[in-house]
Structure 1
Amino acid sequence: MRDPRLIAHAKKMRREPTEPELRLWDVLRAKRFNGIKFRYQKVIGRYITDFSSRAPMLVIEIDGDTHVSQQDYDARRTAFLQSEGYRVVRFTNSDVMTNLEGVVQHLQILIDTAPLPSPLRGSSLSPEGERVL
């Protein structure tokens, strides 16, 4: 069960976005980026992600100045998200504010080179991807 306090905090964060979050959200929202559905300030486990997508499994974080002092927390958070199957990419506020085009290009490269998902267990597909009769 999700923590109601965490959900309330995520809602508050959605109502009070930072300028870098607004700029990147304008690119990602409403499937504007490659038709991918991103969620903003989404709770995953015990953490709130800035932007996340289930297909591809990707979390995008925009780190402000306070993240320098939160390296241990960020490492635990990243490890958890990776254990859930997400790729995690981080940008600084400055990256987004001064080089949004570069951030978007980096995301495009990540998506273009994303590993294919593992086949489901018990699947009737052969290793070559053709259906086995």
Structure 2
Amino acid sequence: MSGLDALPAWAALLTALLVLLGAVVTLIGSIGLLRLNSFYSRVHAPTLGTTVGMASILAGSALYFSVIDARPVIHEILIAIFVTLTTPVTLMLLVRAALYRDRTEGSGDVPTEETAEDAILRTED
């Protein structure tokens, strides 16, 4: 028994909309991964899609199980915290590794460390 017969229509509709919104945002992030041309552009789109899509899907899940169990369900909050903390850290590590590789190989598309530091110092003034 799935408990769907005990789910009110408003909760079912809101859950479906949240899960659908999360799926669409995640799909848009995945399409951005395919469409963008450089590595540095590609890592940005899926990260945003993952974070916003995950938040919508987990909100729908929390709503569904809170209504079915008639008590607040907080497992989704723990999942959201874990994904929200690990996604940007993973992105940062990937970009730093790619920057190191590109600078070591002498790629012309990536500024040198000195140029990047100069740009940071100019913005601080």
Normalising by structure 2, we get a TM-score of 0.32
Looking at secondary structure, tell me which structure has more helix per residue: 2
Report which structure shows greater RCO (CA 8 Å, sep ≥6). Answer: 2
The structure whose Rg is larger is 2
